[in-house]
Amino acid sequence: MPAIRFGLAVVTYLAFFATFLYLIAFVGGVFVPKTVDSGTAPATAVALVVNLALILLFGLQHSVMARPGFKAVLTRSIHPSIERTAYVFATLVALWILFAYWQPMPRVIWQAEAEWAVMALWALFLIGWTIAFISTWLLNHFELFGLQQTWLHMTGREAVLQKFRQPLFYKVSRHPLYLGMMIGIWAIPTMTLGHLVFAAGMTVYVLIAIRYEERDLITFLGDQYAEYRKRVGMLVPGIGKAK
């Protein structure tokens, strides 16, 4: 069974990596058949309701399953080593549903005309997603996506308790992964109404998620994290420090 769990974790990790790349293309409107702006547009009100429901579905899955209480209930039914993999797989399902059923809203809100502006926005787009990807490696990439837990269980080893660290981006932003994603979502030369709904909805979700995530981090890390919140901005460097 441990080997099977590790195999499931590997497959889920590879699927998530592919889905992450699809998400970037989905938001950027490039390379993939279904993007945030592709498809036949329904009535604006219908599209808005459907799209907000999809964002809500993703937000509920991503936040509720991350809470300690939910994890405690879940691990009564599955082995603790596979809990993170189950979370990642559920995230995949939520994203696949969002990709499949997202409704385009083609009205253009703004559009960069100058070539330098277009190039600058695409550069920011790539920088944002690069920051997000690098941020997953700065703490523990394989634990984040569930591989470490199943590997340690399969090899009969115990996880080493990680010390509180602030590598690279974490010195200036408490949540550089979210910051990178927000840059990547908002930095786009042509902002349609549908893309705006996606960007705004995800931003609201991130701000809500951070509140619950930091509450858990304070419970787990105590005064170290409380003091860190006072020194470092929440997303943008210098902004959103705790009082």
pTM: 0.95
| Beta-carbon contacts of residue 162 (< 8 Å; ≥ 6 apart) | 139, 140
161 vs 2, more confident = 2
Rounded Cα–Cα distance for residues 220 and 67 (Å): 12
Residue 24 included in any domain: yes
Residue 62 included in any domain: yes
Mean pLDDT of 88-109: 98
Residue 237 included in any domain: no
* The pLDDT value given to residue 202: 98
The count of structural domains within the chain is: 1
Residue 216 — pLDDT band, cuts 50, 70, 90?
A: very high
The answer on pLDDT for 161 being more than 80 is no
Residue 30 included in any domain: yes
Q: What is the mean pLDDT of the chain?
A: 96
Q: Where are the alpha helices (DSSP H) in 102-192?
A: 115-138, 141-144, 147-155, 176-186
Question: What is the percent of the chain where pLDDT is above 70?
Answer: 100
Residue 236 included in any domain: no
Residue 67 included in any domain: yes
How far from the centroid of its chain's Cα atoms is residue 222's Cα? Answer: 25
Mean pLDDT of 10-26: 98
* The pLDDT value given to residue 11: 98
Structural domain span for residue 155 = 2-231
Mean pLDDT of 137-164: 90
Rounded Cα–Cα distance for residues 10 and 220 (Å): 28
SS3 140: coil
